[in-house]
Structure 1
Amino acid sequence: MRIRYPNGKPYLVNNDKNKERKQPKKAGFSNRGMTLEEDLNQSNDYYRSRHIAVIHKKPIPIQVVNVDYPRRSAAKITEAYYKKASTTDYNGVYKGYYIDFEAKETKNKTSFPLKNFHEHQIHHMESCATQGGITFVIIRFSTTNRVFLLDFQAVNDWWKQQFTEKGKKSIPLSVFEKEGYELQYTFSPRLPYLDIVDKLIQNVRH
């Protein structure tokens, strides 16, 4: 299916999210074949069911252009447009704070390519942070199955430096290890990322 932005440009997936779904996953407690999105959705279901937080995956608004009807009982969307540029993956409320974050996966072992972010996503998170929202990214290095939460400010610093003369086009793994927080899988919730959000809230208060 072809999906386009409001200006007519085709939507290109710059991260490895779709490719990840096609790769076989090793079984085990830490990873039972679930994508990062599925892990986060399960975690958010857990948080909502226990009245801890209300955080949802944002729906993607699209305008259907063409539909193929291979048979009467089935319809297949063959072309569609985004009604507006998508922002980030998740948002909601936790302890009175607005939460907004993006989740991405990469097969790179030593860095995360900045091209996986769209400029409008960075601007959106920057606007949310300016209004006092808690903004961050959750990145999964799928090859090693390591998941990190990195505050938006750090992401924004790396985003801006790429446009300088000696700017780098990716965030090294060492930055995630030193400036971010590594998330450990648990039975339920799958990824207890709100434990780290508590630390981000404390930073805002101070």
Structure 2
Amino acid sequence: MVKYPTGSLTNYNADHTDLLKLNKHYHKKNIIFSDRGMSLEQQINESNKYYLTQNIAVVHKKPTPIQIVKVDYPKRSRAVIKEAYFRQASTTDYNGVYKGRYLDFEAKETRNRTAFPLKNFHEHQITHLDQCLQQNGICFTIIRFVSLNKYFITPASFIIKAWNDKAKKSLTLKEIEHNSYEIKSGFRPTLPYLDIVDKFIQDGK
């Protein structure tokens, strides 16, 4: 949520230089604090809302299928789920359509400052990404290094290759930097990941 000053500039008694300084001050604040307190999932969801309302792309978070076993009704107008379980293993976090191309991607965060553990991926996710790539889908992972405030769009092909190397337990930050595109968090959209998807399309990926 972006907050603006409550005063009106029309009532501000200042010269043009002061007005420019004031505008620059607030613009800078919006950039710095645009992602404060937001998880990676929230940032992506906000970006997807923007892309949808602007008729740019249709991308949604996949619902996780859950089997409800036990429900209590403490009040007639209220139900409380007491017991449930996942009906099946989830695949990836997001999918959708952009410029006639199918998108499928996963979102991952780590507080590690030097590497990304590959154990954060599950075998069924790797299999799913590989299957989507075989159907000419555009697949990738958005990786956020929380402590560094860095975001990377990493092609699924690179993740799959690394994950299949049983001797490899993690990807170093340097490896990710060399094999990914870094993006910056901002405002409208919060994470402009489609800018990198355009590069994938341009490169024929």
Q: TM-score range by the shorter chain?
A: 0.7 to 0.9
Q: What stretches of structure 2 of length at least 5 have no aligned partner?
A: 1-30
Deviations 1:146-176 (A, max 9, x none): 1111000110111011x1xxx1211111111
Q: Distance in 1 between matches of 2:118 and 2:82?
A: 30
Q: What TM-score comes out, normalization by structure 2 length?
A: 0.80
| 1:125 aligned counterpart, secondary structure | helix
Q: Distance in 2 between matches of 1:28 and 1:120?
A: 37
1:135-154 → structure 2 map (5 Å cutoff): 135-154=139-158
| Structure 2 counterpart of 1:125, from 112, 125, 129 | 129
Q: What is the aligned partner in structure 2 of residue 175 from structure 1?
A: 175
Paired AA for residue 137 in structure 1: T
Q: Distance in 2 between matches of 1:39 and 1:185?
A: 8
| 1:143 aligned counterpart, secondary structure | helix
Of 80-89 and 132-141, deviating more is 80-89
Q: Distance in 2 between matches of 1:93 and 1:116?
A: 26
Asked whether 1:92 is paired with 2:96, we answer yes
Q: Among the aligned pairs, what percent are the same residue?
A: 56
1:56-75 → structure 2 map (5 Å cutoff): 56-69=60-73, 71-72=74-75, 74-75=78-79
Which protein has the bigger helix share? Answer: 2
Structural RMSD (CA): 1.6
> What's the offset of the Cα at 1:74?
4.1
Paired AA for residue 133 in structure 2: A
Matched pairs, number: 174
| Structure 1 counterpart of 2:111, from 107, 110, 129 | 107
Q: What is the aligned partner in structure 1 of residue 42 from structure 2?
A: 38
Q: What is the aligned partner in structure 2 of residue 193 from structure 1?
A: 193
> Rg bigger for which structure?
2
Q: Distance in 2 between matches of 1:168 and 1:136?
A: 19
Q: Distance in 2 between matches of 1:44 and 1:172?
A: 29
Q: What is the aligned partner in structure 2 of residue 17 from structure 1?
A: none
Paired AA for residue 36 in structure 2: R
> What's the offset of the Cα at 1:43?
0.4
Paired AA for residue 196 in structure 1: I
Paired AA for residue 128 in structure 1: C
Q: What is the aligned partner in structure 2 of residue 55 from structure 1?
A: 59
CA contact under 8 A between 2:35 and 2:190: conserved in structure 1? no
> What's the offset of the Cα at 1:135?
0.3
